[in-house]
Amino acid sequence: MAEPKIAIVGAGIGGLATAAALLQANFSVTVFEQAHHFSRVGAGINLTPNSIKALDGLGLGQAVCALGFQAQHRVSRLWDTGEVTSNLSLNEGGLHKYGAPQVTIHRAELLTILEQSVDAACIQFNKKLMRLQQDPSGVTLEFTDGHQERFDAVIGADGIHSCVREQLAGGESPEFSGMVAFRSVIDVKRLPKRDYRALTKWWGPNSTSQLFTFLIDEKESELFVFATAPLPDWPHESWSIKAQKEELLGLYAHYCSEATSILEHCDDILKTAMYVRQPLQSWSFERVALLGDACHSMLPFMAQGAAMGLEDAVVLARCLSMMKGHDVCSALKRYEHLRLSRASKIQLASAQNDWLRNDSNAEWVYGYNPWQIEI
Ligand SMILES: Cc1cc2nc3c(=O)[nH]c(=O)nc-3n(C[C@H](O)[C@H](O)[C@H](O)COP(=O)(O)OP(=O)(O)OC[C@H]3O[C@@H](n4cnc5c(N)ncnc54)[C@H](O)[C@@H]3O)c2cc1C
């Protein structure tokens, strides 16, 4: 039987990791991306040990570790007094416990590493999916430029506003969470002299207000600031809207001076509204499956959105490899069965935003290895 011809819609972190995993397993893959080219959006990203294990099996973990920063501790502190409420060790003990380090890196660096792992000939830009139709023998994709192509299987990795999801699971839209996120990168030399090496989460007076800081390069020269606040009347989702420092300082004025002294050095600040979806009942629909934010977009409080997409990619490729061309529908169903409950649980826990506030039970999240679960 011939190898199945697989299409991936979307070349974000999830789509690129899926392409890398399927190519590694010798599948024929085409990635369709609506953008004209890759762009360098975003700032820092926190890759927890489960993400690094997914990347390791793709041969990409080392490159990420070489460019990113490996924190030795993840510390929770109270916004007003600065009191430490939990301290999770990520040093050698943590490495042994979770099987990989925690790496924080510039999102652009991660995307470059993923892009370079996928043969450029497999990626088609400027291809916006408009419609898909499936029948018992295959799936036809139809793009806004009129192009049509038929595949044996299709993976919808097209993000929170997924067109694939809309076609198969209905048109319910993501909901505005009532919160915005501010992001900024600061040159550490400009900050008051202190030790910034711990990943630090300053927990605010309620679950919508928090401040998270971490270094994002192995030279320890840049500190990423990620802050959320309630702003129910600001629903703008773009990743390129600028904010003023005064707004940030006003929203966090009640935080202790150690926290606000960091915010005083944020000059280039991006502001985006955060949207959320509820867990889906089903991710696979005969020859089509959803992956990444397309099926489980979540609030970023556990730093697990990209992590779940990376885990999905590995498990999906392993399920398809097991069935090698024989039964694509069963392979996609098996993928859904193995992934849906874990991702939904993390989606719901992320919305609560209390994980690791007072405790250090990270093992159920960080200990997972998508290369080792039974397929
Ligand atoms: C503020 C913030 C901070 C975060 N921090 C972290 C963190 O520290 N750690 C972590 O693990 N996660 C984090 N996340 C979550 C993480 O960024 C996302 O889960 C992840 O980027 C989703 O990747 P994806 O590939 O599924 O979707 P996307 O990145 O949205 O990619 C989807 C791709 O599909 C393309 N596309 C869309 N529609 C079509 C179409 N019709 N046709 C063709 N192409 C299409 C898009 O152009 C895009 O390239 C954070 C999220 C936010 C908002």
Residue 1 — very low, low, confident or very high, per pLDDT cuts 50/70/90?
low
Nearest CA to ligand 1 atom 6: 303
What's the confidence (pLDDT) of residue 2?
66
pLDDT classification of 172: cutoffs 50, 70, 90: confident
Q: Tell me, in angstroms, the distance from the centre of ligand 1 to residue 291's CA.
A: 11
Residue 267: count of CB within 10 angstroms of its CB: 11
Q: How far apart are the first and last CA of the chain?
A: 22
State in Å: Cα 234 to ligand 1 middle. Answer: 21
Q: How does pLDDT run across 109-135, given as a tens digit for each residue? A: 999 999 999 999 999 999 999 999 999
Q: Which residues pair with 183 in a beta bridge?
A: 226, 270
At 69, the pLDDT band (50, 70, 90 cuts) reads: very high
Pocket of ligand 1, beta carbon within 6 A: 9-15, 32-35, 45-46, 127-129, 157-159, 163, 181, 292-293, 300, 303-307, 309
- For ligand 1, the distance from its centroid to the CA atom of residue 362, given in whole angstroms, is 23
Ligand 1 geometric centre to CA of 81 (Å): 35
The identity of residue 172, as a single letter, is: E
Checking if the pLDDT of 75 tops 60, the result is yes
Share of the chain above pLDDT 90, in %: 89
Residue 38: band (very low, low, confident or very high) from pLDDT cuts 50, 70, 90:
confident
Average pLDDT over residues 90-111: 91
* pLDDT tens-digit map of 228-262: 999 999 999 888 899 999 999 999 999 999 999 99
Work out the angle at residue 250's Cα, subtended by the Cα atoms of residues 245 and 254, and round it to the nearest 5 degrees. 130
CA distances from 213 to 19, 60, 226, 317, 363 (A): 31, 25, 6, 34, 22
Using one digit for the tens of pLDDT, what is the confidence trace for 158-169? 999 999 999 999
Ligand 1 atom at shortest distance from the alpha carbon of 107: 17
Reported as a single tens digit per residue, the pLDDT across 299-346 is 999 999 999 999 999 999 999 999 876 799 999 999 999 999 999 999
